[in-house]
């Protein structure tokens, strides 16, 4: 039986690796400036490779930026395994973990089923709200600004991404310090710094979210094709970055 070739991790070139030091310095300057300009800034880590890169800089420079992650209750074990790995690598690092309101999540599945996300766009978005957006709102309620690992190259819906934006939903500033990085540059940094990464990257997953809503992609497909694959390309966002 024919099996399509799956996406594979980029192999950075010698030139990519040479550029890492310059990129690293620029990222350090960006994060330093954010921390100085907005004391109390928080970093929302999805534990994707981009977020591990940002975490590495925050931890190495001991920047006063609180890191948190959203444990949706639907993450792959491979993703959850990264949290203790990060804490082992950076002993002084404190990653706050936010989880859904248990009864709300239980009631939603009792009414709509554990497969509600597949039934309609509205139900999928409702699930994302319960398991992601409400958590993010809690995490950011007292923050003057927040940081994400988004990049322009990740999808068509992010092609106009800027370094600094206004989060209109929460009326705070949002920063995307990797907005202009390429996929190869991200992987070059991770390789040079020997960062811990999600094991799912070894199995055709370039973009990783909740387990029911993420699958590996074929070689040559859009990098986010495995996210909410049953929907059209223009709806492939959960609302965290709306």
Instruction: Kindly state the tokens that stand for 88.
Output: 């082992």
- Give the pTM: 0.94
Q: Looking up tokens 């395994």, which residue turns up?
A: 81
The torsion defined by the Cα of 225, 152, 178 and 83, in degrees rounded to 10, comes to -20
* CA angle (155 as vertex; 70, 226 as ends), nearest 5: 65
Catalytic residue among 127, 128, 213, 238: 238
Give the whole-angstrom CA distance, residue 214 versus residue 208.
Answer: 6
213 is catalytic: no
pLDDT 10s per residue in the chain (242 long)? Answer: 567 799 999 999 999 999 999 999 999 999 999 999 999 999 999 999 999 999 999 999 999 999 999 999 999 999 999 999 999 999 999 999 999 999 999 999 999 999 999 999 999 999 999 999 999 999 999 999 999 999 998 866 667 899 999 999 999 999 999 999 999 999 999 999 999 999 999 999 999 999 999 999 999 998 889 999 999 876 656 656 56
């Amino acid at each position: 039986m024919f099996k399509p070739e799956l996406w594979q991790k980029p192999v950075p070139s010698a030139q990519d690796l040479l550029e890492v030091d310059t990129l690293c310095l620029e990222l350090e300057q960006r994060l330093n400036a954010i921390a100085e300009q907005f004391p109390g800034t928080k970093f929302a880590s999805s534990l994707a490779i981009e977020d591990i890169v940002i975490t590495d800089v925050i931890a190495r420079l001991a920047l006063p930026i609180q890191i948190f992650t959203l444990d949706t209750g639907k993450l792959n074990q491979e993703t959850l395994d990264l949290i203790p790995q990060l804490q082992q690598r950076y002993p002084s690092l404190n990653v706050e973990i936010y989880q859904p309101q248990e009864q709300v999540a239980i009631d939603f599945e009792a009414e709509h089923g554990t497969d509600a996300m597949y039934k309609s766009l509205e139900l999928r978005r409702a699930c994302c709200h319960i398991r992601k957006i409400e958590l993010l709102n809690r995490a950011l309620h007292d923050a003057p600004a927040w940081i994400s690992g988004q990049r322009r190259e990740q999808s068509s819906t992010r092609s106009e991404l800027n370094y600094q934006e206004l989060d209109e939903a929460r009326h705070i500033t949002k920063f995307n310090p990797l907005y202009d990085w390429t996929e190869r540059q991200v992987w070059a940094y991770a390789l040079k710094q020997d960062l811990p990464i999600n094991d799912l990257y070894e199995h055709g997953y370039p973009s990783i979210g909740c387990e029911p809503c993420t699958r590996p992609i074929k070689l040559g497909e859009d990098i986010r094709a495995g996210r909410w694959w049953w929907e059209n390309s223009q709806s492939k966002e959960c609302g965290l970055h709306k």
